[in-house]
Amino acid sequence: MLSYEESLKILKETKALIEGHFILSSGLHSSKYIQCAQLMSKPKFAVKFCNSLAEKIKKAVPDFDLILSPAMGGIIVGYEIGKILNKDTIFSERVNNSFELRRNFKIPKNLKVLIVEDVITTGKSSLECSELIKKSNAIIAGYACLIDRSKGSSLIKENIISQVKIDIPTYNQNELPHELKKIKAIKPGSRNL
């Protein structure tokens, strides 16, 4: 498994960890942003992250049937984890600002479903996926991500399995530090397009 230091080095090398002034999907502001698409676009690094996360998942959730990931960021991660653990994978998509299962994806009743995504900050996308599982009368097996930047304050009350936990401060618009106020904010997340 990758150590914290090895994980951070890979994130910097792949330019997945960037600095500036960012407005996150949650609406919070941050001086750092994790663009997992950069990590996942470099297979030799992505496979290390995914293999390490898969090992953690095997230990924490040894029994589950299906992986559900939120689009966009979670699709590739969910697929890779499914490939490593030999599990089927599906994904949800935003339709009118809420997640739905499309493309004839279904979650059979009583199936144990693991939610896998790239980055968890507030946990909102994962919780939206959990609602799809509940509506299908299936079982939420757990939550996993490559990067947990929630600092233990996500909306998810269960344990989050992650490759690496990174503490990046976030701020409300009216509480921005002086140095962030000087930098133009950008919205890099898929929900902010």
152-173 pLDDT tens trace:
777 888 889 999 999 888 899 9
pTM for the full predicted model: 0.86
Going by their DSSP bridges, the two strands 170-171 and 29-34 should be labelled as antiparallel
Nearest in space to 84 (alpha carbons), one of 45, 113, 112, 58? 58
84-143 pLDDT tens trace:
999 999 999 999 888 999 999 999 999 999 999 999 888 888 999 999 999 999 999 999
Question: What is the CATH code of the structural domain delimited by 4-192?
Answer: 3.40.50.2020
Q: Are 15 and 39 in contact (CB under 8 A)?
A: no
